Amino acid sequence: MTSDLASVSTSPVSNGATGGPGPRSGRWRRAARRWEAALVLVLVAVVLFGAAESSTFLTPTTFFYLGTDIGYIAIMALPMTLIVMTGEIDLSVASALGLSGAMVGYLWHHGWGIWPAVLVALAVGALGGAINGVLVAKVGLPSIAVTIGTLTLYRGLAEVLLGSLTVPAVGDRPFPTSLTNIGVVPVPGTHMSYSLLFFLILAVVFGILLHATPLGRSLVAIGLQPEAARFVGIRVNRIKLVLYIVSGIMCAFAGILLTLQNASVSYNAGYGLELNVVAIVLFGGVSIFGGRGSILGVVLSVAIVGALEMALTQMNVDPNVQNIVTGVLLLLSVIIPNGGELVRRVRARMRRLTPGS
Amino acid sequence: MSAHVESGAGPISWLGRAGALLRAREAGLFLLILVVVAVTTVHNHDFVGGQSVQQLLSGAALIALLSVGETLVMVTRNVDLSVGSVLGLSAYVVGDLFRDHHIPVWSGFVIGIAIGAAAGALNGFIVTVLRVPSLVITLAMLYVIRGVDSLMVNGNTIDPSSIPSAFTQVGYRTILGVPWLAIIVAVVVAVVGYTMRSFRSSRELYAIGSNPDAAVLAGVPVGKRVFTSFVISGTLAGLAGTLFLALHAQVDNSAGSGYELTVIAATVVGGVAIFGGSGTVVGAALGALLLNTINQALVASRISAFWNEAIAGALLLAAIGIDRWLSLRMARSLTSAQGAHRDV
Amino acid sequence: MPRTRTARRAVAAIGAAALAGAMLTACSSSVKTSADATGSPTSTGIKKGLLVYFIPKDTQNPYEVLADKGGEKALTELGGKVVVSSGTQDTAAAQIPSIQAAIQAHANAIVIAGNDPSALCPTLNQAASAGIAIVSFDSDISCGTSPNHLFINQANTAQVGTSEVDLLAKEIGGKGQVAILSAAASATNQNAWIGYMKQELTKYPNMQLVSTVYGNDDPATSLTVLQGLLSAYPNLRGIISPTTVGISTAAQYLDTHKSLLAHLTLTGLGLPSQMRTYVEDGTVAEFELWNPSNLGYLAGYAAASLASGSASLQTGSTFSGGTLGTYTVLAPSTGTGPSVVLGPPTVFDKSNVNNFNF
């Protein structure tokens, strides 16, 4: 997704295409820190709000449920962050989750062992990601269009695999309890669910990758200045391809986790979640234009979104109101950082309009 | 960035050549539709009966209408994801007014369109004045409007008995075998399409999408144009909502849900570039017709229902790929013909 | 006003969150877990002050809204309270947070219409371990004994399937091609009824089921698949649509394309309030259903009785269904656990469709 209208500033010479790394990226790093600080405060506010409105909010059980409810979604947000930072998008994440889950179910239904089934599902995820990556990076098709296509295709393949079946079906073995326990038993010694643990571990890995490796810096460069990045020898196409493959594998992993958590799978697992993932990433301060964002911001965003949903459900707030809140938060997440600049621009516009036009 | 040379600035000979190739693009889409129909008819000889053609046209009508508005927005390098929710809101509010306030039929249309225009204006304002990226604002609006709509609906549906039959006639009546729905959409496409080609203000939309900075420097009132494109997109979504009510005569809170991705798919298949600067409303409407034809063809060819979505997805990818191949070919032929630099 | 940009932004962010919070507090119905769940039982053996969570497929489905209201009526009669909680999409993931909220609110019972036959089982099992009685209605869950639960069947499953086919057969003279316009491909109740329909069709050798299409309980999808169906099988004689959205979409289409009625008959499960106009003008001759609010009412009584210990899952045990009478628990069969049946479906036609207001 390259820059759209909003990148056009009043002084046309300076826009996203000029200038290089250096003082600009320093300014953006500071902006990121500020957004993260704001997110921390919002998280505190949400937790206080939840505690005030529901007597069961600040309990270990809530924390466990938070993990199972949002863990698998959050895992998909990590590669999405990297993809959005390079200026692309992946709307097929929820369908990849569904397809991999469906593959596990299909193979299990046909008598396979769980580990071979899981391996095949991960391979399917990687393959799906590779298809996205090839079409976007090698063929050069726009990622929003390609991933809308694969969103439909992968969900469709999930439907081909399972049809109206829910696995385990009548006559199937139940999934191994040692694995399905991740949905009901916390990590020993803590109240954390396994899904949340996996997410946190992966977040650390992705965080180090993004913020402390040359690869991570390349990603930022690709997002800010794709042509310049190419000229300095960054293998843009290869990196994008790899990112999509990683996304596919992560979504497959999320699909496997969801299947085991629920001890069951049908073809519509994860249906409709892609926009939730995008919203979480954007709310985490990742710029839709690419080049700006942090894993910490996304982790905080996951925490806020998860905690808010828990609080609102415990308060029995209508889920549609919850959707409205999500929408408003998303809006605020882009308006507020631009706050000062916006006011200045609007004032400048007013001033230009008044001397009779 | 491949060359976006359609109906924009350029010498007359370029325009003539670009125009010819464009016509080839829309003609290509039309051809593809005929191919799908032909292939399906081989499987099922009754697919091309009179009823079926009517169904193909009326089934695609709403998405085609939304695609026209979406084209205007996408040409300026923006996107409008809220169209489905706006359709649902407009359909429900008009239905509710019919049911509880017995408003006259014509005011149903006016109100539906007005609701859409208001939503479009809000989107446009936030994009142009507050400088929020359109993907984000329209995504947020998708949630907010759907949420507001659901709260209003509150578990009640609008039933056919609440809608005056004079209104629902628009949904199924035909003239000489052509459904009114299709005629309305065709009129909108013709009007908007003509405007896009012939008026300077609308051609500026292409300039904005091709090169926003150059457009500003050239004195194009970018803010005003983009705002208008969102208002039109919203207005057409509001109209589509009214037509939805006429067609289905029942509305619940899920009306229009999920349409936005179909609309984007239709416009891309129809040749509208995601990165802005090119594409026509005729192409977008044909894209919508092609997608609906594929959907109905799949059911009609008696393939098991479980394969529909997968095949639709594969065909969508193919259409996007072909579109890209066609535009590359066009760019190459223009470059070689004129010997000009390609702007990469 | 704080001076540094960071602080100002932070204040703005908190302000936004606080505003959101104020908005929410104003329009929320917060659940304080102060239910007195151990009040003395009434003469029917039901404890007072019970808290029952109704978890429909989603909060906006009109059929479920009617059922939930019936449940509220039941619990009000019994001196208890109902909380309706669910999501906006018909998925298991949308219902799990509601089950969790019920557990944390120390609810006495959960009445759930499952979006998925087994994905909800682990969380429901946790609820059962916490002492919550589990009742399912409309769409059953399939969890075996973990947890044990009572299914409030709206009508005898086999009877729904067979009566639908018999109704149609009567109208088309027992011969011709027929098709089924269903809801979601994974809906438990749909698949169960369709199974019995297929069985019953073997009794009519001259009727062939040519296709089953899925409209996902969405008017637009239902219309598209219906149109495809009509294109694919122009000699179609009958359509059964065992879903209120499907049948009303099909009825609207036939109503506006009356020429099709010359050879096509429609029947299925529909709400009298939606189907009234079509019956009156002859588009549809007969269809059937039951009263959804009675279903919710019975589910409410069942949940309260189980939670009070005055009912059990034992085959043959009985409990009071309030004004609906006494109900007996039926033995489990393949794929279904202990259940009660609300009653036989009502067949609606011109003579009685106006007598009902649901």
Per-residue pLDDT tens over the stretch A296-339? 999 999 999 999 999 999 999 999 898 898 889 888 887 776 66
CATH topology of domain C51-154+292-342: Rossmann fold (3.40.50)
User: Chain B neighbours among A 232-271 (CB < 8 Å)?
Assistant: none
CATH of the domain at B164: 1.10.3470
Q: Residue C295, Cα to own-chain centre: how many angstroms?
A: 9
User: What pLDDT is attached to residue C37?
Assistant: 40
Per-residue pLDDT tens over the stretch A47-85? 999 999 999 999 999 999 999 999 999 999 999 999 999
Which of B134, B140, B311 is facing A4, going by the closest CB pair? B134
- Segment C327-352 shows an average pLDDT of 89
Nearest CA in chain B to A271: B258
Q: What length does chain C have?
A: 358
Write out the H or E segment, with its range, that includes residue B334: helix B308-338
Per-residue pLDDT tens over the stretch C166-224? 999 999 999 999 999 998 887 778 888 999 999 999 999 999 999 898 888 888 888 88
- Segment B306-327 shows an average pLDDT of 82
- Which subunits count as partners of chain A given 3+ CB pairs below 8 Å? B, C
Question: Helix axis angle, B134-153 relative to A319-335, nearest 10°?
Answer: 160
Banded model confidence at residue A1, pLDDT cuts 50, 70, 90: very low
Per-residue pLDDT tens over the stretch B258-316? 888 889 989 988 888 887 888 899 999 999 998 888 888 887 777 777 888 888 889 88
Identify whether the C-beta of residue C307 lies closer than 8 Å to the C-beta of residue C157: no
pLDDT at C42 over 60: no
pLDDT at A2 over 50: no
CATH topology of domain C157-289: Rossmann fold (3.40.50)
Per-residue pLDDT tens over the stretch B31-41? 888 888 888 88
Domain boundaries, chain C: 51-154+292-342, 157-289
pLDDT at A5 over 60: no
Amino acid residing at C319: F
Write out the H or E segment, with its range, that includes residue B92: helix B83-101
Ramachandran angles phi, psi of B172, nearest 5°: -135, -10
Query: How many angstroms separate the CA atoms of A136 and B320, rounded?
Result: 11
Contacts of B134 in chain A (CB under 8 A): 4-6
CA distance C321 to chain B (A): 26
Interface size between A and C, measured as CB pairs under 8 A: 166
Write out the H or E segment, with its range, that includes residue C245: helix C244-256
What domain count does chain B have? Answer: 1
Nearest CA in chain A to B1: A140
- Segment C220-240 shows an average pLDDT of 87
Banded model confidence at residue B21, pLDDT cuts 50, 70, 90: low
Query: How many angstroms separate the CA atoms of C158 and A127, rounded?
Result: 44
Inter-chain contact C231–B44, Cβ cutoff 8 Å? yes
User: What pLDDT is attached to residue C202?
Assistant: 94
Q: Give the ipTM.
A: 0.84
Residue A184 vs residues A53, A188, C235: alpha-carbon distances, Å: 26, 12, 53
Note whether residue B1 is domain-resident.
no
Query: What pTM, to 2 d.p., does this model score?
Result: 0.85
Inter-chain contact C231–B157, Cβ cutoff 8 Å? no
- Whether the link from the prior residue into C147 is cis, omega within 30° of 0, is yes
Residue B159 touches chain C, beta carbons under 8 Å: yes
Residues A160-199: b if buried by 16+ CB within 10 A, e if exposed = bbbbbbbbbbeebeebeeebbebbbebeeeeebbbbbbbb
Mutation target vs A (from C28, C58, C65; most A CBs, 10 A cutoff): C28
Domain housing B147: 12-338
Q: What length does chain A have?
A: 357
Banded model confidence at residue B45, pLDDT cuts 50, 70, 90: confident
Query: How many angstroms separate the CA atoms of B230 and B128, rounded?
Result: 10
pLDDT at A7 over 50: no
Nearest CA in chain C to B159: C274
Query: How many angstroms separate the CA atoms of C53 and C55, rounded?
Result: 6
CA distance A67 to chain C (A): 11
Residue B11 touches chain C, beta carbons under 8 Å: no
- Segment B179-199 shows an average pLDDT of 91
Residue A325 touches chain C, beta carbons under 8 Å: yes
Nearest CA in chain B to A4: B77
CA distance C250 to chain B (A): 10
CA distance A316 to chain C (A): 6
Contacts of B257 in chain C (CB under 8 A): 218
Residues C18-44: b if buried by 16+ CB within 10 A, e if exposed = eebbeebeeebeebeeebebeeeeeee
pLDDT at A120 over 50: yes
- Spatial neighbors of A2 by CB under 8 A, at least 6 apart, are A87, A289, B77, B275
Which of A53, A56, A266 is facing C105, going by the closest CB pair? A56
Share of chain C above pLDDT 70, in %: 88
Banded model confidence at residue C25, pLDDT cuts 50, 70, 90: very low
Inter-chain contact A42–C118, Cβ cutoff 8 Å? no
Banded model confidence at residue B187, pLDDT cuts 50, 70, 90: very high
Token pair of A318, please?
């209508």
